[in-house]
Amino acid sequence: MKKFYLRTMGCQMNDHDSEVIRGLLLSQGYDETEEAEEADLILYNTCCVRENPERKVYGNMMNYKRLKEARPNLIIGICGCMTQQKEELQNILAQLPHVDLVFGTHNIHRLPELLARAEGGERVVEVWDEAPYDEEGQDFRESLPVERGHRLKAFVNIIYGCTNFCTYCIVPYVRGKEHSRLPESIIAEVSGLVEAGYKEVTLLGQNVNAYGKDLSIDTSFSRLLAELNAIEGLQRIRFTTSHPRDMGPDLINALASLEKVCEHLHLPVQAGSSTVLRRMNRGYTRESYLELVRQVRQAVPGIAITTDIIVGFPGETEEDFAETLSLVEEVRFDSAFTFIYSPREGTPAARLPDQVPEEIKKERIYRLIELQNRISSEYIQSMVGTHQEVLVESTDDQGLVGRTRTNRQVHFAGSEQLLGELVTVEITEAGTWTLRGKIVQPQG
Ligand code: SAH
Ligand code: SF4
Ligand code: F3S
């Protein structure tokens, strides 16, 4: 039997695309392997949001050259966001002559045919500029096989693409314009998952808050949440990512009132200075972000708010950066993903004259990480002694592993029969990122 080795970079959208790629490859009679050395197909699902992971792809691909020399029938493929950039695609084709299968984010469904052609010895390159939709707005992704990474919690796309055009970001250029799935398709998918034993869904989109705005029917993200909340047997609903600009009172209300919607909000702030935010084209100010956080916390006490922050955006001064630090102090995020600004060709910010020198960017990110680590650790320590609702998701060599509603991982002793159940856990110990506890309900 032929084997594939699949490596996935980037965000949860890519993780989910890889679940579809797995489904397609298994349906073609391939089996998965964790060892590139023994694979008949090596496939990289790439990300281009920053430069570092891109470099890694080139580095790793160079290493596969000798595998290909030893086994000429080996197929080496690249897909995902990197291939959607025209110049990058040309670089891939020119610099990596041993790569023989290239496809994009809009034509994953074509993989079986493209693979068959590559197996026939052809160098196959097929990247589409847009996703194909029929007249009802349905697209190819509706009917593809999916091999999910977990059997209790699942990713569900609700909106594809992004049309926000934050000035630093490449995503709108590689993922196309915003396109919401029809509510009935999403509800059918989630109902099917629940019937198959799934307990939790994470709704995915670059900006889930914009859900429905592109559809001709009258719907919205908060309404979709309410409809999903009504599905019997479903226990938890999560979603990511929320754009602060599109976070209206109806959504805050949904977070507060729908019992299955978990108390966790990923609300990327990107920067603490209103001047920088304006140049990023984020559509909110420092003050309006802080006000939004206040409203959310008032409506949903105890909610975990996490964020993304970029340091060293072009023109960011020491004063601007100090405003990021003070915003982080003020909000006290549960955790934060922090990034050094990485110029992306074709985006407006990459052309700005006052790029921040690398040493300054590094020095700033260290200061930011230090601050956030202190806050995160205070936050996690404060959970010791509390009782938390935990969904038992998996087992490890020491017992059970689950997550709190606020998305913190907890380890505790208990029987495997509790897999998929909600239990109450008393937190007894906190590490840097994860918690230990003991079951108090049902008795462990
Ligand atoms: N759609 C999501 C995020 C997608 S990309 C949102 O809007 O929140 C994930 C994160 O990568 C972004 O939130 C941002 O913090 C970071 N990012 C995007 N472009 C970047 C760049 N050019 N350099 C550094 N970080 C970047
Ligand atoms: Fe990029 Fe902004 Fe779209 Fe997020 S909202 S994907 S940061 S353009
Ligand atoms: Fe990266 Fe593409 Fe996601 S660029 S962050 S994998 S949408």
Ligand 1 atom closest to the Cα of residue 205 is 1
pLDDT at 444 over 60: no
Ligand 1 atom closest to the Cα of residue 266 is 8
Residues 289-302, mean pLDDT to the nearest whole number: 98
Residues 31-56, mean pLDDT to the nearest whole number: 96
> Do residues 324 and 411 share a domain?
no
Where does residue 226 rank: exposed (0-12), middle (13-18), buried (19+ CB within 10 A)? middle
Ligand 1 atom closest to the Cα of residue 343 is 22
Q: Where are the beta strands (DSSP E) in 107-263?
A: 124-126, 153-157, 159-160, 179-180, 200-204, 236-240
Does residue 144 lie in a domain region?
no
**171 Cα: distance to centroid of ligand 1 (angstroms):** 8
> Do residues 167 and 212 share a domain?
yes
For 348-395, how does the pLDDT look when each residue is reduced to its tens digit (9 = 90+)? 999 999 999 999 999 999 999 999 999 999 999 999 999 999 999 999
> Do residues 327 and 409 share a domain?
no
> Do residues 99 and 66 share a domain?
yes
> Do residues 279 and 370 share a domain?
yes
Does residue 132 lie in a domain region?
no
**167 Cα: distance to centroid of ligand 2 (angstroms):** 9
Write the DSSP symbol of residue 321.
H
Q: Considering 347, 382, 417, which residue would you say is the last residue of a domain?
A: 382
**174 Cα: distance to centroid of ligand 3 (angstroms):** 8
Give the closest residue (by CA) to ligand 1 atom 18.
169
**29 Cα: distance to centroid of ligand 1 (angstroms):** 37
> Do residues 116 and 10 share a domain?
yes
Does residue 218 lie in a domain region?
yes
Does residue 134 lie in a domain region?
no
The proportion of the chain whose per-residue pLDDT surpasses 70, expressed as a percent, equals 99
Structure confidence at residue 137 (pLDDT): 66
List all residues whose CB is within 6 A of at least one atom of ligand 1: 49-50, 168-169, 171, 206-207, 241, 243, 268, 270, 308, 310, 339, 341-342, 344
| Residue 229 phi, psi dihedral angles, 5° rounding | -60, -25
Q: What gap in Å lies between CA 11 and CA 406, rounded to an integer?
A: 20
Mutate to test the pocket of ligand 2, among 49, 50, 171, 342 (most ligand atoms within 8 A of CB): 171
Residue 346: which CATH number? 3.30.750.200
> Do residues 415 and 366 share a domain?
no
Q: Where are the beta strands (DSSP E) in 51-178?
A: 75-80, 101-103, 124-126, 153-157, 159-160
Residues 39-63, mean pLDDT to the nearest whole number: 96
**50 Cα: distance to centroid of ligand 1 (angstroms):** 8
> Do residues 172 and 120 share a domain?
no
Q: What gap in Å lies between CA 44 and CA 261, rounded to an integer?
A: 33
Does residue 143 lie in a domain region?
no
| Confidence bin at 443 (pLDDT 50/70/90) | low
> Do residues 353 and 393 share a domain?
no
Q: What gap in Å lies between CA 137 and CA 166, rounded to an integer?
A: 26
What single-letter amino acid sits at 71?
Answer: R
Does residue 137 lie in a domain region?
no
Q: What angle do CA 426, 430, 433 make, to 5 degrees?
A: 120
Residues 212-236, mean pLDDT to the nearest whole number: 97
Mutate to test the pocket of ligand 1, among 169, 241, 340, 345 (most ligand atoms within 8 A of CB): 169
**328 Cα: distance to centroid of ligand 3 (angstroms):** 25
CB distance 174 to ligand 3 below 6 Å:
yes
Structure confidence at residue 181 (pLDDT): 94
Residue 67: which CATH number? 3.40.50.12160
For 117-167, how does the pLDDT look when each residue is reduced to its tens digit (9 = 90+)? 999 999 999 999 988 877 666 777 788 999 999 999 999 999 999 999 999
Give the domain extent around 113. Answer: 3-126
Does residue 274 lie in a domain region?
yes
Measured between alpha carbons, how far is residue 147 from residues 20, 150, 154, 189 in Å? Answer: 6, 9, 10, 14
Give the closest residue (by CA) to ligand 1 atom 2.
206
Residues 180-193, mean pLDDT to the nearest whole number: 96
The helix/strand/coil state of 428 is strand
| Confidence bin at 301 (pLDDT 50/70/90) | very high
> Do residues 324 and 430 share a domain?
no
Measured between alpha carbons, how far is residue 113 from residues 17, 289, 352, 385, 397 in Å? Answer: 17, 47, 43, 56, 42
Which of 368, 378, 377 has the alpha carbon at shortest distance from 272? 368
The residue whose two tokens read 């890694």 is 56
pLDDT at 282 over 60: yes
> Do residues 354 and 399 share a domain?
no
Positive or negative, the Cα torsion across 287, 293, 296, 299?
Answer: negative
**424 Cα: distance to centroid of ligand 2 (angstroms):** 37
Q: What gap in Å lies between CA 290 and CA 256, rounded to an integer?
A: 18
Residues 404-424, mean pLDDT to the nearest whole number: 96
**219 Cα: distance to centroid of ligand 1 (angstroms):** 27
Give the closest residue (by CA) to ligand 2 atom 5.
164
Partnered with residue 157 across adjacent β-strands are: 204
Residues 382-409, mean pLDDT to the nearest whole number: 96
> Do residues 410 and 311 share a domain?
no
**143 Cα: distance to centroid of ligand 1 (angstroms):** 30
Q: Considering 239, 262, 285, which residue would you say is the last residue of a domain?
A: 262
Structure confidence at residue 433 (pLDDT): 82
Q: Considering 262, 277, 310, which residue would you say is the last residue of a domain?
A: 262
Angle, in degrees to the nearest 10, between helices 286-299 and 318-331: 10
Residues 67-71, mean pLDDT to the nearest whole number: 94
Residues 105-117, mean pLDDT to the nearest whole number: 96
Structure confidence at residue 131 (pLDDT): 86
Residue 256: which CATH number? 3.30.750.210
Element containing residue 398 per DSSP (H, E): none
Does residue 142 lie in a domain region?
no
The helix/strand/coil state of 142 is helix
Number of domains in the chain: 4
Structure confidence at residue 424 (pLDDT): 97
Lowest mean pLDDT among 50-54, 141-145, 189-193: 141-145
| Confidence bin at 311 (pLDDT 50/70/90) | very high
